[in-house]
Amino acid sequence: MDFGTALVAIGAGIAVGMSAIGSGIGVGIVGAAGAGAISENPRRFGTALVFQAMPQTQAIYGLLIGILLLVGAGLLGGDTGKTISLSVGLAALGVGIAVGFAGFSGIGQGIAASAGVGATSEKPDMFGKGMVFSVLPETQAIYGLLIAILLMVGTGLLGGVSELLELTAGLAAVGAGIAVGFAGFSGIGQGIAASAGVGATSEKTDMFGKGMVFSVLPETQAIYGLLIAILLMVGTGLLGGISKLLELGVGVAAIGAGIAVGFAGFSAIGQGITAAGGIGAAAQTPATFGKSMVLSVMSETFAIFGLLMAILIMFGSGLF
Amino acid sequence: MKKLKLIVLDDYKDVLIKELHELGIIELKIVPTTKSSDTTHLGKDVVLTRNKVDEKAKELIALLMRVNTVLDIMRLSESCNQKRFGFSAQIEAKKIEDMPYTQIIKDASELLDLTEGHLKHVRTSLEDLETRINDYRSQIQILKKLKQFDIPLDYLGESRHTYITSGELPTDNLSELTERDTSSYILTRTDGATATAIICTLKENKRKLQSTLKRLNFQEYLLPKVPRTPGVLIQEYESEIRDMKKKKHDLLNEITDMSSRYKGDIQIIKELLEIERARSEVTGLFGRTERTLYIEGFVPEKKVDITLETLKKLSGYSVAAVTDPEEAEEDIPVLLDNPRPIKPFEMLTEMFATPKYNEFDPTPLLAPAFLLYFGIMLTDAVYGLIVSILGITVIRTLGKMNPSARDLGIILTLAGASAFIWGILFGSYLGDFFSPKSGKEVAIGTALTHITIPPLWVDPYQKELKYNMSPVIVILLMALIIGLIHINIGNLIGLRKSLNRGNGKEVTSHLWLILFQLGILPILLDIFGVISLGQIGTVMTQGFIVISLVLLIYSQGILGFFSITGFMGDSLSYARLLAMALATGGIAMAVNILVKMVEGISISGIKVGILLGIAMFLVGHIFNIALNTLGAFIHSLRLHYVEFFSKFYEGGGEKFKPFKVVRTYTILKR
C-alpha cells in the first residue's frame, strides 16, 4: 500500500470521526428535549423522533464520503491495486476535513431541533415551521459535502481514473477542506439563532419571516468558506480538469488561505447569539428589527477580515 | 375587496345572520362608533349604539360546557384504543333539517339528561379508585422496606412499657444515632444513601429519642396498627389493587358503552350549539337603532353578485350597499386570488407572511421557481415518481377532509413531476442504478435488465466533459445563473415598488445592484477567460462599479458595505442547487455500492447476500428519498424566503376570515 492510499484512509477516518462528534452531540441535545416532551405528552414520541433525525444527516454525509473514499482508492471493493499519488492522498485529507468538520453544524441543528420539539409539543401546528428552522444549520454540512464530492471528482477518486496531480493541487485541496470544513462551525451560531426563531414564532406566528432572516445571518461565514474553497479549486485546476503548473509554495499558501476564512467562520457563533437576541427584541418591539440586524451583522466583520486575508493570500501567492 | 353595509329590521336579524353564515363569504367587522361612548349620531336624531349580545349566548355557553364535559369523559375510555398520529377515521356527516333555536336547546338538554349524570358519577368513581390505588402503592413502597424485619405492625407505637418507631434517615447519620442513643434497641437496613431503622426504647426515653431523631433528619413512617407483618400486608394490599383495577376496567367499559350509543348524537348537537353561539356572538359587532340593526363587512369583489342575490330573499326587510373600502390599507383583509394551478402555493407564501392589501402577490412567481428548484435538488426520476405518487395519495386521503393537506398534496405531486424531469436530464434513476459510473463496473440495474440509460443532458458524476468543461462546473454555472436571474427579478420588483412610492433613497438602493452587476460580472468573466474586455470594456465596467458604489453609499451609508457581501452571499447561496443534486445522487450511489458489496455474502452456502442486499436497497433508498425530499422542499422555500423575498416583499397583511359556518358532523338539507 503506498503512502497516498494510506492518506486516503486517514481522510476517510477524519470524515466519519469528526462528523460523528457533531451529530452525536446534536442528536443528544434533541433527545433530551424529546424525553421532556414525551413525559408531558406520550403521543409526542413520533415528533421527537423526527426532530432527532435531523442532526443525524451530518454523520451520514461523513459515512458516505468515507465509503466513497475507500472505494475510490481501491481499499474497499472497486478497483483494487490502484496507485494513489501523494497529492491525491493529500486531497483525500482535504475531503475528509471538509465533510468531517462541517459536521459540527450538527450541534447547531441539535439546538434548533430541540427548540422545535418543545414548540411542537406545546402547539402541534408548529411542526412545519419548527422543521424549517431546524434545517437551516444543515447548509454548512451540505457545503462540506459538496466540496468533498467536487474534490473527489476533480482528483479522480470518484470516477475511476486517478489523475496525475501536482502536489500543489493536493495541498490546495487541504486548504479548501479547511476553509469549508471549519467554517461549518457557523452552523452552531445558526442553530442558536434558529432556536430563538422557533420560540418567537410559536408565540407570535408572524415572527416567522423575521426569525428566518435573522437565523440566516450566521450562514454567511459558511458561504465565505465555500467561496474560498471553490476559488482554490478553480485556481489550481482541481475543478475544470486541467492541472495548472504552479510552485509548491502556492499550495502551502493555500492552506493559509483556508485557515484564514475557515477559522474566521467561528465568528458566526457570536453572530448567532446576537441574532437570537435580535429575534427576541423584534418579537417584543417590532421597531427594533432594523437596529437589531445592524448589531447582528457586527460579528460578521471579522469573518470579512478572514475572507479578505484569504483573497489577498491567493492573489499574493500567485494563485490567480 | 369591497365594503358591504347592511341595514335590517331587528325582527329579521336571525334570518339574515343565518343566511350570511351559511353563505360564508363575508368578513364582518365591528361597526365604528365614537371613542367616548358606544353611540354615534347619524344626523336627523338617528342614534347608533353598539348592539348588546343577547342572553342566548349565555345559555349556549352553559350548555356547551356541559356537552364538552360529557365528551371529555367519553374520551377517557378511548385513550386505550387510540388512533395514531391524529388520523381520525373518516367522519360521516349526517344530513339534518334546519332546526329552530328552541328545538336545538331542547334536544341538547335531553341528551345531557341521558348522559351527563351517569358519566359524571362514573368519572368520580374512577378518580376515587385511582386515588386509593395510589395510596396503597405508596404504602406498599414503605412496607417493602420493612419487610425483612418481619415485625407485626401492631408492635409499633406506644405500649405499656415501650415505644417503638420505624422510619428512615440518611445513612451518614446512622452511626451518630447508635453512638448517642445507647438505651435503645435499633434494627437497621442500609440502602444506599438512606437507611431504614426500627428503634425500640423504654417509654420514659420517648421524648429524648424523638428529639435525637428529629435532629438526625429521621422521617417516621405512618403505618396502620394492625396485627400483620409487612409481608402479609403487602400481599393484602396488592390483591386490593387488583380488585380495584378490575373495577376501573368495568367502569371504563360502561363509558365505552354509553359512548357508542350517544357520542355521535352528542357531537352533532355540539356542532349545532357552536353554530348558534357563533351566530349569537357576532351580533356584538353590529350597531343598533330603535328598530334596526346596522352591519358592516368586507366581501371579495368576485362574490358581490352572489351576495346580493342571496340578500334578495330579505328584500323589504333589509337594505344593502356595496362600496369601495375606505379604511387604511392595514385594515382591509387580504384574500389572494390566483388561478387554480397556482392556488395551492398560496400556503407557502402565507407561511412567510400574508401580503399587504394591494401589495404584489409573489405566489405566481414562487410556484414555478419552487418547482424548478425542487426538481434540481431532488434530481432522480424514480424518486420523483414516488414523491408524485405520495402527493396523489395525500390528496385522496387526508386531502378530502383538510384543505391545507390537499394543497400540500398538489404541491408534492407537481414537485415530484419536476424531479422526474430533472432526473431524466441528469440520467439519475435510483442514482447510478442504470448507468455505470467507473469505467469497468457494471451497474446493478444494467446487470439485471441489460438496460443502460444515459442522461438526457449531463450527469454530474460522469467523466466525460460537456461543453469542454467538467460536468459539475456546468451545473454549478447553471445554478449560479438561475440564482442571478432570480435575485434580479426580485430586485426589479423591489425597484418598481420603490418607484411607485417615489422614495428616492429606496430607488437607489435597488439601482446600485443593477449597475454593480453590469460592472463586476464582465470582470469576472474576463478573469476566468470566458471573454476578454478590451480597453473600452475595462473602463466601462470599472465605471459601472464606481457609480454603483456611490449610489450604494448614498442610499445606505457605510453599512452599505454589507449589501455587497450580502449580494455575494445571496448569489453563492444558489450553489446549494448543485450541492443538493450531488447529495441525492451521491447517497444513492453509496447505497448501490453497498448493495453490490453485500450481494456476494453467503453464510454456509446459503446466499444470504441477496436478501441482505434487497433489504439494504429498500432501506437505503427510502431513507434517501425522505431525507432529500425534505431537504429539497425546505431549501427551495428558503431560497425564496431569504434571497428572493428580502428584495421586495413586506407582508403584514391580515388574512381574510369570512363569517362562515363550520360543519364537520352535519350537512344542512336545503
Work out the minimum CA distance from B569 to partner chain A, whole angstroms.
Answer: 6
pLDDT of residue B423: 92
Contact state of B575 with A226 under an 8 Å Cβ cutoff: yes
pLDDT of residue A272: 95
Residues above pLDDT 90, as percent of chain B: 13
Number of H helices and number of E strands within chain B? 18, 14
Question: How are beta strands B666-668 and B94-96 bridged, if at all?
Answer: parallel
Contact state of A227 with B568 under an 8 Å Cβ cutoff: yes
> Cell for B236?
393484602
Contact state of B587 with A64 under an 8 Å Cβ cutoff: yes
Is residue B434 helix, strand or coil? coil
Q: Tell me which amino acid residue B530 is.
A: V
Whether the predicted pLDDT of A119 surpasses 60: yes
Contacts 24+ apart (CB under 8 A), B76-81: B76/B123, B76/B126, B76/B252, B76/B255, B77/B252, B77/B253, B77/B255, B77/B256, B77/B259, B78/B256, B78/B259, B80/B252
Which one of B642, B644, B647 would you mutate to disrupt binding with A, by most A Cβ within 10 Å of its Cβ?
A: B642
- Asked if B629 has any chain A CB less than 8 Å from its own CB, the reply is no
> Cell for B303?
362574490
> Cell for B98?
334546519
CB count in 10 Å sphere of residue B593: 23
Which residues on chain B are in Cβ contact (under 8 Å) with A78?
Answer: 438, 441
Q: Of residues B664 and A140, which shows the higher confidence score?
A: A140
Distance CA A283, CA A276 (A): 11
Chain centroid to CA B20: how far? 31
Average pLDDT, chain B: 83
Q: Give me the mean pLDDT over the B304-317 stretch.
A: 82
- Asked if A98 has any chain B CB less than 8 Å from its own CB, the reply is no
Work out the minimum CA distance from B17 to partner chain A, whole angstroms.
Answer: 31
Which residues on chain A are in Cβ contact (under 8 Å) with B472?
Answer: 150, 153, 239
Whether the predicted pLDDT of A60 surpasses 70: yes
Put simply, the chain A residues between 175 and 204 with a CB less than 8 A from any chain B CB are: none
pLDDT (tens digit per residue) in B190-200? 888 888 888 88
- Asked if A240 has any chain B CB less than 8 Å from its own CB, the reply is yes
pLDDT (tens digit per residue) in B26-53? 888 888 765 445 555 555 556 677 777 7
Residue B30 near residue B327 (C-beta atoms within 8 A): no
Residue B383 near residue B589 (C-beta atoms within 8 A): no
E-assigned strands of B173-329?
185-191, 194-202, 219-220, 287-288, 292-299, 318-323
- Asked if B477 has any chain A CB less than 8 Å from its own CB, the reply is no
Q: Tell me which amino acid residue A258 is.
A: G
Distance CA B667, CA B670 (A): 9
Contact state of A300 with B562 under an 8 Å Cβ cutoff: yes
pLDDT (tens digit per residue) in B431-464? 778 776 544 456 677 677 777 788 888 887 776 7
- Asked if A166 has any chain B CB less than 8 Å from its own CB, the reply is no
pLDDT of residue B440: 45
pLDDT (tens digit per residue) in A247-303? 888 889 999 999 999 999 999 999 999 999 999 998 998 777 777 877 887 888 888
Which one of B78, B459, B472, B623 would you mutate to disrupt binding with A, by most A Cβ within 10 Å of its Cβ?
A: B472
Contact state of B594 with A67 under an 8 Å Cβ cutoff: yes
- Asked if A61 has any chain B CB less than 8 Å from its own CB, the reply is yes
pLDDT of residue B485: 94
E-assigned strands of B73-224?
94-96, 157-158, 162-170, 185-191, 194-202, 219-220
Work out the minimum CA distance from B26 to partner chain A, whole angstroms.
Answer: 24
Put simply, the chain B residues between 311 and 370 with a CB less than 8 A from any chain A CB are: 351-353
Residue among A223, A243, A246 nearest A318 (CA): A246
Q: Which residue of A has its CA nearest to B475?
A: A150
Which one of B523, B587, B629 would you mutate to disrupt binding with A, by most A Cβ within 10 Å of its Cβ?
A: B587
- Asked if A76 has any chain B CB less than 8 Å from its own CB, the reply is yes
Backbone phi, psi, residue B510, to 5°:
-95, -35
pLDDT of residue B85: 38
Distance CA A250, CA A252 (A): 5
pLDDT tier for residue B77 given thresholds of 50, 70 and 90: confident
Average pLDDT, chain A: 88
Distance CA B433, CA B416 (A): 19
Work out the minimum CA distance from B452 to partner chain A, whole angstroms.
Answer: 17
Which of A146-155, B338-347, B452-461 is the least confident region? B452-461
- Asked if B582 has any chain A CB less than 8 Å from its own CB, the reply is yes
Contact state of A220 with B440 under an 8 Å Cβ cutoff: no
pLDDT (tens digit per residue) in B89-124? 556 778 888 888 888 888 888 888 888 888 889 889
Distance CA B629, CA B619 (A): 15
- Asked if B646 has any chain A CB less than 8 Å from its own CB, the reply is yes
Q: Give me the mean pLDDT over the B587-600 stretch.
A: 75
Q: Give me the mean pLDDT over the B632-638 stretch.
A: 83
Which residues on chain A are in Cβ contact (under 8 Å) with B650?
Answer: none
pLDDT of residue B441: 57
Whether the predicted pLDDT of B419 surpasses 50: yes
Which of A222-231, B39-48, B467-476 is the least confident region? B39-48
- Asked if A6 has any chain B CB less than 8 Å from its own CB, the reply is no
Number of H helices and number of E strands within chain A? 15, 0
Distance CA B647, CA B485 (A): 13
- Asked if A295 has any chain B CB less than 8 Å from its own CB, the reply is no
Q: How many residues does chain B have?
A: 670
pLDDT (tens digit per residue) in B607-631? 777 888 888 889 889 988 887 887 7
Which one of A44, A216, A305, A311 would you mutate to disrupt binding with B, by most B Cβ within 10 Å of its Cβ?
A: A216
Contact state of B572 with A226 under an 8 Å Cβ cutoff: yes
Distance CA B436, CA B525 (A): 35
Candidate from A136, A159, A209 with C-beta closest to B352 = A209
pLDDT of residue B42: 58
Which residues on chain A are in Cβ contact (under 8 Å) with B651?
Answer: 206, 209
In chain B the domains, ranked by start, together with CATH numbers, are 2-51+286-331 (3.30.70), 142-236 (3.30.70.2750), 343-502+574-647 (no CATH)
Residues above pLDDT 70, as percent of chain B: 92
Q: Tell me which amino acid residue A263 is.
A: F
Contact state of B583 with A153 under an 8 Å Cβ cutoff: no
How many Cα atoms occupy the beta-carbon half-sphere of B653 within 13 Å? 24
A-B C-beta contacts closer than 8 Å: 133
Contacts 24+ apart (CB under 8 A), A70-73: A70/A8, A70/A9, A70/A12, A71/B593, A72/A8, A72/A152, A72/A156, A72/A157, A72/A158, A73/A4, A73/A5, A73/A8, A73/A9, A73/A157
Q: Give me the mean pLDDT over the B153-178 stretch.
A: 84
pLDDT of residue A224: 85
CB under 8 Å to B288, separation ≥6 — which residues?
A: B10, B48, B49, B50, B51, B294
> Cell for B608?
444470504
- Asked if A42 has any chain B CB less than 8 Å from its own CB, the reply is no
- Asked if B635 has any chain A CB less than 8 Å from its own CB, the reply is yes
Which of A71-75, A162-166, A260-264, B226-230 is the least confident region? A162-166
- Asked if B465 has any chain A CB less than 8 Å from its own CB, the reply is yes
> Cell for B394?
395525500
pLDDT tier for residue A236 given thresholds of 50, 70 and 90: confident
pLDDT tier for residue B542 given thresholds of 50, 70 and 90: confident
Whether the predicted pLDDT of B383 surpasses 90: yes
- Asked if B650 has any chain A CB less than 8 Å from its own CB, the reply is no
Question: How are beta strands B219-220 and B47-50 bridged, if at all?
Answer: unpaired
Residue B248 near residue B31 (C-beta atoms within 8 A): no
Q: Give me the mean pLDDT over the A157-169 stretch.
A: 74
Contact state of B580 with A142 under an 8 Å Cβ cutoff: yes
pLDDT of residue A186: 95
Distance CA B658, CA B297 (A): 9
pLDDT tier for residue B393 given thresholds of 50, 70 and 90: very high
For residue A77, what are the CA distances in angstroms to A59, B15, B445, B598? Answer: 22, 80, 18, 10
Whether the predicted pLDDT of A197 surpasses 90: yes
Contact state of B589 with A68 under an 8 Å Cβ cutoff: yes
pLDDT of residue A320: 65
- Asked if A55 has any chain B CB less than 8 Å from its own CB, the reply is no
- Asked if A220 has any chain B CB less than 8 Å from its own CB, the reply is yes
CATH assignment, A3-316 = 1.20.120.610
Q: Of residues B326 and A178, which shows the higher confidence score?
A: A178
Backbone phi, psi, residue B322, to 5°:
-115, 125
Whether the predicted pLDDT of A181 surpasses 90: yes
